[in-house]
Amino acid sequence: MKLNKLILGHILNPLSDKKCEFFYGALYLEEGSEKEFKIKKIYNFSSLGIQDLKEEINKINCEVCDFSEYILMPPFFDMHFHWVQDHVRAKPKDSLLEWLTKYTFPAENKFKNRSYAKKEARQFFRKLLAGGTLGGAIYSSIHAHALEYAFKEARGHFVIGDVVMTMNSPAFLSQKIPQARAQIKKFAEKFKERYCFTPRFALATDPETMKFGSKQAKKNQSFIQSHLSENHDEIRSTLSLYREFRGFGHVENYTEIYGKCGVLGAKTLMGHAIHLSESELKLLAKTKTALVHCPTSNAPHREQGLESGLFNFKRVEKFKIPWALGSDIGAGPHLSMFDVMRSFYYQNLRAGKAVSFVKALYHASLAGAEILGVEKKLGNFSKNKEANFLVIKNPYRNLKNKNPEQILKKLIDKYKTQRAQYPLHVKNVFYRGKKVF
């Protein structure tokens, strides 16, 4: 016999970058094949008195989980982070180069040890889940087994890739070109649309391997991700290096380099993309490439970021380029997407740009699902989507007559000055109808 469940609570449901629902109601879940639950109906009970509500629930007649004191919201999508950099989140970030060479590369090198990688994967993905993130795009280290462990431990919908580093990298993290290509081919064929070909960035991956990997990705319906235009030094070095390569002598900008290597496309995600010219934006739009904005990583040093600048979302939207938010762990200091939403909102507010928390939530949830092409089953609450939801502690005494913007502001402001505390908002995490945290 199939089991159905009624999940009562205050439903916060992002619909677009301007619209979000908030009402007292219930998610009606139906068990499907393999004992996994889907949302079959969403009830709005906001106009019912207590007696009518009881009658209504009796009529529905199924197991009831009462989270009436809580908020139910869809899990987050974190669209850019390095799971192997969890231990460098709090290291000094005054200089990108120093942070990379002194802390980040040695930290990633530790993953060459199998048992270390296995233990770290278990701990990291448990922590990610507890913070409410159940989807996104992940960078692993160069090591094949680290990628396998990440796929094994990640709960939710993630695309993951082993970073490819075939040039300009420390000796201990450098790959030989034939081995790097064999690994890309093997993983693209094995993990298909869950694999993400991941040249670390143009500076660290040779153009021929970028071409090879992009072909493999396209052949296997895999995704592609990399970094683009994070800071001015990186842009200058990339251009001067590539202009020496055959066929790249006349490249005008950074984006064009990726374009020439076949990296751009509808299944490609470019992280940061802060300093872009108009012709670069045109090329990104033409190729349907998506961008990932990592505000906590790009934030000023005093906010534990790399001070790379502020992503111009208005300009990106003018070109109709899809974009989503990412934590960029470990350049970003905190895993919680509440912290990423906070940073996006307040940095833009300070810069005099009109933003809302509703917009932040959309880019931390549904927008990610859309970019990964899974918006029909994930990203928010609607009929036939997977029954994935977060049970969030109520920040108000009374939730009546509150709007989504107020609710989100209250949640985000609560830990504004104690950013490591954001995961405390999450009481439980449900995945396909079952409590996993």
Positions touching Zn ion (CB under 5 A) are 328
| Number of residue whose CB is nearest Zn ion | 328
Is 135 within 8 Å of 388 (Cβ atoms)? no
Q: How far is the CB of 310 from Zn ion (least distance, A)?
A: 17
Residue 200 Cβ, how far from Zn ion at the closest point, in Å? 9
Select 234 or 328, whichever has its Cβ closest to Zn ion.
Answer: 328
Nearer to Zn ion among residue 138 and residue 264 (C-beta): 138
Backbone dihedral angles phi then psi of residue 98, each to the nearest 5 degrees? -65, -40
Kindly tell me which of 70 and 323 has the beta carbon lying closer to Zn ion: 323
Residue 282 CB, shortest distance to Zn ion, in Å, is 24
CB of 246 to Zn ion, least distance (A): 29
Q: CB-wise, 328 or 370, nearer to Zn ion?
A: 328
Closer residue to Zn ion in complex, CB, 186/301: 301
Q: Helix or strand or coil: residue 398?
A: coil
At 358 the three-state DSSP class reads helix
As a whole number of angstroms, the distance between CA 358 and CA 404 comes to 7
| Shorter beta-carbon distance to Zn ion: residue 148 or 328 | 328
The least distance separating Zn ion from the CB of residue 365, rounded to whole angstroms, comes to 20
CB of 189 to Zn ion, least distance (A): 26
Sheet of strand 76-82, all strands in order from the earlier edge strand to the far edge: 76-82, 133-140, 157-164, 196-199, 223-228, 268-272, 290-293, 323-325
Q: Which of 161, 146, 283, 280 is nearest to 214 (CA)?
A: 161
Q: What would the two tokens of residue 285 be?
A: 């739009």
Could you tell me the two tokens for 216?
């493999």
Residue burial 394-425, b: 16+ Cβ < 10 Å; e: rest: bbeeebeeeebeebbbebbebbeeebeebbeb
